[in-house]
């Protein structure tokens, strides 16, 4: 039986691998690390890059926290016990180039010691400022390949879950082109805990090769000031989702997590333009037309 200590150690290794890959890809930016301790128990390693060649702001964070769940979280999770342990890696990258997409990834494990309550969760999703269809197919194709190694059911189920989860209801649009999302994944007659843990790590190790490829495809493309302004508008939608709907943000705030680490997902610059209407036939109009659920990218 895998232990929480083993899970946390392997997640730290994945954090190290991703930080190295992103530094090499960016060519200038370096991650600054801050070690922190949580008052209720546990802590983490926050790693932030700012003002790189391509990565304007990015966080690759690891945490392993434990303690007592507050009543509001017990109710939200539908559990009766108090003691909990949670560990994971959480990533959000905001590039400075409007043709390079925002990306988010999270892999996590939760358990309530002394009980049978334990599960894995996570996912990875892409938020392009401009939807480039070849990039979308590449991204989803790699996610499907990762999922298919563990279950033919994973990609279609988790892709739909991502479409539904990463949806900005008050805008009636998806945050981006989705990806995969899963929660409370537990062992059953077909999947052992070891299988699920290996899948979790495989999702984590999908991040670096996929995102560095997307960066390198688009980093040298020219762009206009108008396109950068559109990038800032799309960032505002990302901020809205994370502050209104994101479950990880809510969990972190409700369990007395570290505020700087929780809110590292927010972009460095975002703009809200009143009643913006894209020009007919423009790249902005095309992007908005593709921010919807149910698009089959593979």
**Span 182-240, pLDDT tens digits:** 999 999 989 999 999 999 999 999 999 999 999 999 999 999 999 999 999 999 999 99
The H or E element containing residue 21 is: helix 4-26
Average pLDDT over residues 253-260: 79
- Dmax over CA atoms of the chain, in Å, equals 59
Question: Which three-class secondary structure state does DSSP give residue 113?
Answer: coil
pLDDT band at 249 (very low <50, low <70, confident <90, very high): confident
What is residue 40's predicted lDDT score, i.e. its pLDDT? 83
Q: Which residues contact 147 (CB under 8 A, 6 or more apart)?
A: 154, 155, 158, 180, 199
Average pLDDT over residues 227-256: 90
What is the CA angle 261-5-66, rounded to 5?
50
**pLDDT tens string 90-123:** 999 999 999 999 999 999 999 998 888 899 999 9
Q: Which residues contact 256 (CB under 8 A, 6 or more apart)?
A: 38, 39, 40
- As a dihedral over the C-alpha atoms of residue 247, residue 284, residue 272, residue 267, rounded to 10 degrees, the angle is 50
The H or E element containing residue 205 is: helix 193-218
What is residue 176's predicted lDDT score, i.e. its pLDDT? 97
What is residue 80's predicted lDDT score, i.e. its pLDDT? 76
**pLDDT tens string 14-28:** 999 999 999 999 999
Burial of 193 (0-12, 13-18, 19+ CB in 10 A): middle
What distance in Å separates the CA atoms of residue 139 and residue 137, rounded to the nearest whole number? 5
What is the CA angle 240-205-202, rounded to 5?
100
Among 60, 133, 69, 66, which residue's Cα sits nearest to residue 93? Answer: 60
Q: Which residues contact 26 (CB under 8 A, 6 or more apart)?
A: 49, 52, 53, 54, 55
Question: Is 68 within 8 Å of 85 (Cβ atoms)?
Answer: no
Measured between alpha carbons, how far is residue 145 from residues 18, 124, 140, 264, 298 in Å? 20, 14, 9, 30, 10
pTM > 0.75: yes or no:
yes
pLDDT band at 81 (very low <50, low <70, confident <90, very high): confident
Set 97, 104, 140, 142: catalytic member: 104
Reply yes or no on whether 142 is catalytic: no
pLDDT at 181 over 80: yes
Q: What is the mean pLDDT of the chain?
A: 94
Tokens at residue 69, please?
Answer: 């769940």
């Amino acid at each position: 039986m895998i232990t929480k200590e083993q899970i946390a150690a392997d997640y730290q290794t994945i954090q190290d691998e991703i930080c190295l890959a992103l530094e090499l890809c960016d060519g200038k930016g370096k991650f600054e690390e801050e070690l922190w301790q949580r008052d209720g128990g546990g802590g983490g390693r926050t790693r932030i890059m700012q003002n790189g060649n391509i990565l304007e702001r990015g966080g690759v964070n690891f945490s392993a926290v434990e303690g007592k769940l507050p009543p509001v979280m017990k109710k939200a999770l539908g559990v009766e016990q108090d003691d909990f342990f949670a560990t994971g890696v959480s990533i959000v990258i905001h590039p400075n180039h409007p043709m390079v997409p925002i990306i988010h990834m999270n892999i996590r494990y939760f358990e309530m010691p002394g009980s049978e309550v334990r599960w894995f969760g996570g996912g990875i999703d892409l938020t392009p400022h401009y939807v480039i269809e070849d990039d979308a197919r590449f991204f989803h194709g790699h996610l499907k390949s990762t999922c298919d190694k563990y279950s033919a059911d994973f990609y279609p189920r988790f892709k739909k879950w991502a479409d539904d989860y990463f949806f900005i209801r008050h805008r009636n649009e998806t945050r981006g082109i989705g990806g995969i999302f899963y929660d409370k994944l537990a062992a059953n007659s077909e999947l052992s805990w070891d299988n699920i843990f290996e899948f979790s790590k495989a999702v984590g190790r999908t991040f670096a090769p996929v995102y560095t490829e997307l960066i390198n495809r688009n980093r040298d493309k020219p762009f206009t000031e108008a396109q950068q302004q559109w990038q800032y508008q799309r960032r505002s939608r990302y901020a809205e989702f994370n502050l209104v709907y994101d479950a990880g943000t809510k969990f972190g705030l409700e369990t007395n997590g570290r505020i700087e680490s929780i809110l590292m997902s927010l972009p460095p610059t975002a703009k809200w333009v009143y009643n913006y209407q894209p020009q007919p036939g423009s790249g902005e109009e095309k992007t908005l037309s593709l921010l919807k659920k149910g698009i089959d990218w593979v």
